[in-house]
Amino acid sequence: MITFDGVTKRYAGGTVAVDGLDLEIPTGRITVFVGPSGCGKTTSLRMINRMVDPTGGRILLDGVDVTTIDPPTLRRGIGYVIQQAGLFPHRKVADNVATVPRLLGWDRRRARARAMELLERVGLDASLADRYPFQLSGGQQQRVGVARALAADPPVLLMDEPFSAVDPVVRASLQEELLRLQAELRKTIVFVTHDIDEAIKLGDRVAVLRVGGRLAQLDAPARLLAEPADDFVRAFLGRDRGIRRLSFVPSGDLPLRTDLTVPASAAAVSARAAAEPWLVAVDDGGRPLGWIARESPPDSGARPEPYGTFVRGRDPLRSVLDAALLSPSGHAIAVDASGRVEGVVTREALDAALARAAAGDPATGDDGGPAVGPAVGSAGAGSDGTAGAVAAGPSDGTAGGVSGGARG
């Protein structure tokens, strides 16, 4: 655990970058510092590894004041990752990663082996090991930066806007990768960003700072979205807070209709279609082909229409809403992890779940107040379908569903 105890930093010029900061950073979790430029995020981070020392208060690492530990010793247990990776340009990738092990006196072969293991861990091909940093893409360089910070297996990782300089697609994959790594490694991570969406995606807890280095709110992301502490936090969270909250509402308890799924043969469809305006056609493997409308059955030559899917229990309610919005029926197709149709969440069932989420039903796992309100039904929903598919995380099923439908 890292404790900020009344920490203040006043720079020589008189700027108070951090002012009386009190907070606790739990072991083995990701804590994000987020806030506008100049609010003291970098300064706060650098006081943990003594690149900057506080002018007031104390920072305790597992109960020990960091200013009593000499910086090299302290930093041996603290990895540090910065924007644009900060790699040594004249050293090959493997040598960059092996920097700290070599400083710790490991022999060349052992350090190299460790570097190769880490490159694999962060998703880089071994063939990149003997390139120079300029021969890698920005995203690859960031991965090397993460590998280098992990080389000596430090319990603490400080990350200062590590993904801010790469394009949004690469950035999303770096974020996924960090979450995957963290599930294995369970480091104590302090992650700095000015991007509230990144903070909400990555943080177990999010500290929102305001200019002057004052803590505006410290909470789990779902709570932050549900109950912003004040107007500053509310404004910083942005407009579609209600929709984004749905990313934290589980979908596992939604009722499924299993009687709307039919093999794609004309006979099977016509046998059921009299009763239902929309059916899901599936292939021999049980995978969705698309929606079939009563008005245009297969024997009329019509092709199945586009659809959205979600994985029940894995994906949040936001993904269910997204899947429904991508389907002409207004219903969402639930698939299992291998893509086979499990059933359908009807629009009515989805509406009921949205209403429960808006009311902060404890059964949704979110005790937030009635903050979702009208944003769910109106503003956010229509304009937000695409972003929803992305933000819903690993549900490539949703995006794949669209291209796999009648358009494909």
Backbone φ/ψ region at 47: left (φ over 0), alpha (ψ -120 to 50), beta: alpha
Pick the piece of the chain touching ligand ADP (CB under 6 A) from 34-42, 75-83, 348-356, 377-385.
34-42
Residues sharing a CB contact under 8 Å with residue 34, sequence separation 6 or more, in sequence order: 41, 192, 193, 194, 195, 196, 198, 199, 203, 206, 207, 208, 209, 236
Q: Using CA atoms, how far apart are residues 247 and 207, in angstroms rounded to an integer?
A: 19
List 310's β-bridge partners, or say none.
Answer: 334
Please say which residue, 42 or 261, places its beta carbon nearer to Mg ion: 42
Binding mask 38-77 for ligand ADP (x = CB under 6 A): xxxxxx----------------------------------
Q: Which of 397, 245, 381 is nearest to 333 (CA)?
A: 397
Q: DSSP H helical segments within 203-240, as ranges? A: 221-226, 231-237
**Residue 31 interface partner, choices ligand ADP, Mg ion, none, CB cut-off 5-8 Å depending on type:** none
Please say which residue, 43 or 329, places its beta carbon nearer to ligand ADP: 43
Q: Using CA atoms, how far apart are residues 202 and 235, in angstroms rounded to an integer?
A: 20
**Interface with ligand ADP (CB under 6 A), residue from 15, 68, 137, 383:** 15
**Residue 43 interface partner, choices ligand ADP, Mg ion, none, CB cut-off 5-8 Å depending on type:** ligand ADP
Distance of CA 61 to the CA centre of its chain: 27
- Based on the shown chain and the rule CB under 6 A, indicate whether residue 14 belongs to the binding site for ligand ADP: no
How many chain residues are in contact with ligand ADP, going by CB under 6 A? Answer: 11
Please say which residue, 32 or 243, places its beta carbon nearer to ligand ADP: 32
Amino acid occupying residue 224: L
Are 52 and 80 in contact, with CB atoms under 8 Å apart? no
**Interface with Mg ion (CB under 5 A), residue from 31, 42, 140, 247:** 42
**Interface with ligand ADP (CB under 6 A), residue from 1, 6, 11, 68:** 11
Please say which residue, 37 or 73, places its beta carbon nearer to ligand ADP: 37
Please say which residue, 17 or 279, places its beta carbon nearer to Mg ion: 17
Q: Using CA atoms, how far apart are residues 102 and 260, in angstroms rounded to an integer?
A: 62
Residues at the contact surface with Mg ion, assessed by CB under 5 A: 42
Residues at the contact surface with ligand ADP, assessed by CB under 6 A: 11, 13, 15, 17, 37-43
